[in-house]
Amino acid sequence: MNQPDKEYLTVALPKGKLFGLSADLFAKIGYTAEGLSDQSRKLIITNEEKKIRFIVSKTADVPTYVEYGAADIGVIGKDVLLESQKDVYELLDLGFGKCHLMMAVPKDRKRARLADYANTRVATKFPHIAERFFSQYGMQMEYIKLNGSIELGPIVGLSESIVDIVETGTTLRENNLEEIAYIMDATARLIANRVSFKLKFDRISAMVQDLKTVMGQN
Ligand code: PRP
């Protein structure tokens, strides 16, 4: 990082479902910037007065920006964070973006026991988490990595099951899928680059404290 970067705190925010809630939360502690939006084509938005820079990136890329120090801190779902296997500090559970990871299958092709799916194909955005889950049961699976619309997998015969997140349950219902195994809960987390956390300790700690205050944690 060059010298001017040290003056700024760079925050990576994910596009999509977590963007609005993340931007609203930061705004409550005065971390705002004119034109900050996940629809904007401008990908770096700076608040010169407060020396804050926002990077708006694809959700799955937030842990990468933070691990490499291109962003000092970031907001990311626990599901994506675990799957990324990136080496970052997890500073705070932000509480929003609640969902859970689970395994689901087509209702009309449900098998009697979880073990009956051993050695079948699973479509998922989360192959690492899925593998960790199935290995607890001694199950070997074939993982098919998809980047979205995971529910299509079993419908079009690509896989027997899916491992994906559920928020409201609407997507499962609308596609005649049924949850058969719970894997883990997830919420949005505040993460930090390990070096930034040391170099900008005072600033980041003050920010975490302010976030806790507006979240009513103390
Ligand atoms: C996620 C997830 C499910 C859906 C679950 O997809 O992969 O498809 O949300 O939400 P629900 O339980 O409220 O229906 P997302 O909308 O992020 O898009 P994607 O399919 O492109 O990954």
pLDDT digits (tens, 9 = 90+) for 23-64: 999 999 999 988 888 888 888 999 999 999 999 999 999 999
**30 Cβ inside 6 Å of ligand 1:** no
pLDDT surpasses 50 at 72: yes
Mean pLDDT across the chain: 95
**167 Cβ inside 6 Å of ligand 1:** yes
- Which of 171, 173, 179 has the most ligand 1 atoms within 8 A of CB, as the residue to mutate? 171
The pLDDT score that the predictor gives to residue 218 is 66
pLDDT surpasses 50 at 128: yes
Q: How far is the CA of 77 from the centre of ligand 1 (A)?
A: 13
pLDDT surpasses 80 at 5: no
The fraction of the chain above a pLDDT of 70, given in percent, is 97
Residue 161: partners with Cβ closer than 8 Å, 6 or more residues away: 103, 104, 105, 117, 120, 121, 122, 123, 153, 154, 180
Residue 10: partners with Cβ closer than 8 Å, 6 or more residues away: 52, 53, 54, 55, 70, 71, 72, 73
**166 Cβ inside 6 Å of ligand 1:** yes
Residue that is written with structure tokens 């949850």 in the block: 179
Give the pLDDT mean for 201-213. Answer: 97
Name the band, by pLDDT with cuts 50, 70 and 90, for residue 214: very high
Distance CA 133, CA 184 (A): 9
Question: Residue 92: which of 144, 29, 172, 159 has the closest Cα?
Answer: 29
b/e sequence 148-176, b meaning 16+ C-beta within 10 Å: eebbebbeeeebbbbbbbbeeeebbeebe
Query: Which CA distances in Å does 104 have to 76, 122, 135, 154, 179?
Result: 24, 9, 17, 9, 4
pLDDT surpasses 60 at 2: no
Q: How far is the CA of 144 from the centre of ligand 1 (A)?
A: 17
